[in-house]
């Protein structure tokens, strides 16, 4: 046998042995590959940058910047255009999970069985094994920090019973929130296989609506604000796919998303000096671009806007309302909730707060009963209205005699 024949024989034997390698060896190989996939290349994110004079014009397909409390739009471009969110779908899974936790339907220490479907889910993951059980807390960490697709499947099965049931809940919740351009078809944002079927769809505006609702559950930041978290009793480290976290001053969430047809997406949030901003960028061409655009948007927002705290919840107003036939002659209404407004810096003088209250009310009056309104308006329009309420119960009484 000549040298070339021996070489061919060696290659054939090597191929056969590789195919016959034990399952454990193949699993270790896949784990090594998954680990390389999981740790995305780092990008340069400065703590702060010189704010741009204007919001960035690209590169992206759509972008939006809003304040988190009032939802005031500070910048928008193509924000209503439907686009695939990719893994930003997981924000809705997170919202439904936190709502289920509040209802007591599930617990964070609950051990969740890993199904075959969850273990076989492609894309980014944390190597789930069919039949094992993990705490729900570990799965939420894997979903929000490492964007683990299989973890989403396991969470959906724990919260709703199945992926299909969870998708139905996701779409129902989107309709309740007014997310008019959103249609969920998966629980993790993976693209249709081989081009069959339709992808999940949303818009930058809908993502901002979802982000604002999700931030009403402060525990989400316990996950999304950490650059690195661990699961499996500290034996597995997860690095946050959102590279703004741990680098940009004030950045603490929320979720990345990517596959080739969707481009690089990001719903980001940061807080400084009492002002929390939400930036959504979709369809960026590179990993670096999505973080750079989101940071530029928020740096521009922090440089040009400020949050004014106009009235605090429970704060007494400067006027009184007379009480007819009551156990007291008058009551000073209080604000039912905090009233703040985001304005361009230097434009605070254009805001005015007025009260719309009756001269007299009749007893009985219940604590927290609405007595009128606190109105904020600028030079041209009403920008916000909250109730003015009674701080106490006032019984009906006349001449010291309680009426019945």
Band (pLDDT 50/70/90 cuts) for residue 43 is confident
Tell me what the mean pLDDT of segment 34-57 comes to: 73
Residue 381 lies in a domain: yes
65-104 per-position pLDDT tens digit:
999 988 999 999 999 999 999 999 999 999 999 999 999 9
Express as a percent the part of the chain with pLDDT over 90.
Answer: 76
With a cut of 60, say whether residue 31 has pLDDT above it: no
Indicate whether 245 and 283 sit together in one domain. Answer: yes
Band (pLDDT 50/70/90 cuts) for residue 374 is very high
315-335 per-position pLDDT tens digit:
999 999 999 999 999 999 999
Q: Which of 304, 324, 353 is the last residue of a domain?
A: 304
Express as a percent the part of the chain with pLDDT over 70.
Answer: 88
CB distance 202 to 80 below 8 Å: no
User: Dihedral sign, CA of 153, 154, 158, 161?
Assistant: positive
CB distance 243 to 145 below 8 Å: no
Q: Which two tokens stand for residue 115?
A: 């199904």
Indicate whether 266 and 120 sit together in one domain. Answer: yes
CA atoms within 13 A on the CB side of 59: 8
φ/ψ (deg, to 5) at 249: -60, 120
Q: Which of 247, 275, 304 is the last residue of a domain?
A: 304
pTM of the model: 0.83
Indicate whether 180 and 227 sit together in one domain. Answer: yes
227-286 per-position pLDDT tens digit:
999 999 999 999 999 999 999 999 999 999 999 999 999 999 999 999 999 999 999 999
Domain assignment of residue 324, given as a range:
312-402
Residue 127 lies in a domain: yes
Residue 1 lies in a domain: no
β-pairing, 251-259 with 73-77?
unpaired
pLDDT of residue 362: 94
Q: Using the 8-state DSSP alphabet, how is residue 51 labeled?
A: P
Q: Which of 287, 304, 321 is the last residue of a domain?
A: 304
The per-residue b/e assignment along 75-114, b for 16 or more CB within 10 angstroms, e otherwise, is bbbbbeebbbbbbbbbbbbbbbbbbbbeeeeeeeeeebeb
Average pLDDT of the chain is: 88
113-143 per-position pLDDT tens digit:
999 999 999 887 788 999 999 999 999 999 9
Looking up residue 283, the CATH number of its domain turns out to be: 3.40.710.10
Residue 287 lies in a domain: yes
Q: Using the 8-state DSSP alphabet, how is residue 389 labeled?
A: E
Indicate whether 62 and 87 sit together in one domain. Answer: yes
The answer to which of 107-111, 225-229, 376-380 has the lowest mean pLDDT is 376-380
Indicate whether 251 and 374 sit together in one domain. Answer: no
pLDDT of residue 2: 52
Indicate whether 235 and 270 sit together in one domain. Answer: yes
Looking up residue 394, the CATH number of its domain turns out to be: 2.60.410.10
- For residue 206, the cross-strand partners are none
Between 8 and 134, residue with greater pLDDT: 134
CB distance 140 to 126 below 8 Å: no
pLDDT of residue 34: 39
Q: H or E stretch including 387?
A: strand 382-389
The CA distance from 85 to 264, in Å, is: 9
Indicate whether 373 and 230 sit together in one domain. Answer: no
pLDDT of residue 12: 38
φ/ψ (deg, to 5) at 265: -120, 160
The CA distance from 255 to 91, in Å, is: 7
φ/ψ (deg, to 5) at 238: -115, 130
Residue 40 lies in a domain: no
With a cut of 90, say whether residue 20 has pLDDT above it: no
With a cut of 60, say whether residue 18 has pLDDT above it: no
The CA distance from 247 to 255, in Å, is: 15
Find the angle CA(157)-CA(36)-CA(118) to the nearest 5 degrees: 10
Indicate whether 140 and 229 sit together in one domain. Answer: yes
pLDDT of residue 44: 73
pLDDT of residue 29: 38
With a cut of 70, say whether residue 59 has pLDDT above it: yes
Residue 94 lies in a domain: yes
Q: Which two tokens stand for residue 21?
A: 């390698």
Residue 360 lies in a domain: yes
Between 377 and 91, residue with greater pLDDT: 91
Indicate whether 321 and 373 sit together in one domain. Answer: yes
φ/ψ (deg, to 5) at 318: -85, 5
Number of domains in the chain: 2
Band (pLDDT 50/70/90 cuts) for residue 399 is low
CB distance 179 to 84 below 8 Å: no
The CA distance from 121 to 137, in Å, is: 19
Residue 116 lies in a domain: yes
- The beta-strand segments (E) located in 35-97 are 62-67, 73-77
With a cut of 80, say whether residue 371 has pLDDT above it: yes
With a cut of 70, say whether residue 3 has pLDDT above it: no
Q: Which residues are catalytic?
A: 87, 90, 147
The CA distance from 389 to 130, in Å, is: 55
Indicate whether 325 and 291 sit together in one domain. Answer: no
Q: Which two tokens stand for residue 340?
A: 């703040």
The CA distance from 256 to 384, in Å, is: 32
Indicate whether 299 and 321 sit together in one domain. Answer: no
Indicate whether 127 and 269 sit together in one domain. Answer: yes
pLDDT of residue 372: 95
- Among 242, 276, 254, smallest CA distance to 207 is for 254
pLDDT of residue 157: 98
């Amino acid at each position: 046998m000549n040298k070339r024949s021996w070489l061919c024989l060696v290659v054939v034997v090597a191929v056969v042995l590789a195919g016959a390698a034990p399952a454990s060896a193949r699993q270790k190989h896949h784990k090594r590959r998954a680990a390389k996939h999981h740790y995305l290349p780092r990008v340069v994110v400065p703590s702060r940058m010189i704010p741009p004079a204007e919001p960035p014009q690209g590169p992206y397909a759509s972008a939006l910047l809003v304040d988190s409390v009032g939802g005031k739009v500070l910048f928008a471009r193509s924000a209503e255009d439907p686009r695939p969110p990719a893994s930003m779908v997981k924000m809705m899974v997170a919202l439904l999970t936190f709502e289920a936790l509040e209802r007591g339907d599930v617990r964070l220490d609950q051990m969740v069985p890993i199904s075959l479907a969850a273990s076989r889910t492609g894309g980014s993951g944390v190597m789930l094994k069919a039949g094992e059980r993990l705490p729900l807390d570990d799965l939420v960490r894997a979903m929000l920090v490492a964007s683990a697709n299989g973890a989403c499947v396991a969470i959906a099965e724990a919260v709703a019973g199945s992926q299909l049931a969870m998708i139905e809940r996701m779409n129902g919740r989107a309709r309740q929130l007014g997310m008019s351009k959103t249609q969920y078809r998966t629980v993790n944002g993976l693209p249709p296989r081989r081009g069959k079927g339709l992808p999940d769809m949303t818009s930058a505006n809908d993502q901002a609506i979802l982000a604002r609702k999700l931030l009403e559950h402060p525990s989400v930041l316990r996950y999304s604000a950490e650059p690195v978290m661990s699961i499996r009793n500290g034996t597995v480290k997860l690095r946050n796919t959102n590279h703004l976290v741990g680098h940009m001053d004030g950045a603490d969430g929320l979720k990345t998303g990517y596959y080739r047809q969707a481009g690089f997406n990001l719903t980001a949030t940061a807080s400084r000096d009492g002002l929390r901003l939400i930036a959504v960028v979709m369809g960026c061409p590179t990993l670096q671009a999505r973080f750079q655009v989101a940071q530029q948007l928020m740096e521009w927002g922090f440089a040009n806007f400020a949050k004014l705290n106009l009235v605090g919840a429970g704060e007494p107003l400067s006027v009184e309302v007379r009480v007819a036939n009551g156990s007291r002659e008058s009551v000073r209404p209080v604000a039912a909730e905090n009233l703040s407004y985001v304005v361009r810096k230097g434009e605070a003088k254009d805001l005015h707060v007025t009260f719309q209250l009756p001269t007299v009310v009749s007893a009985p009056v219940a604590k927290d009963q609405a007595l009128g309104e606190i109105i904020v308006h600028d030079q041209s329009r009403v920008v916000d209205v909250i109730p003015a309420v009674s701080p106490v119960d006032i019984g009906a009484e006349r001449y010291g005699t309680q009426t019945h």
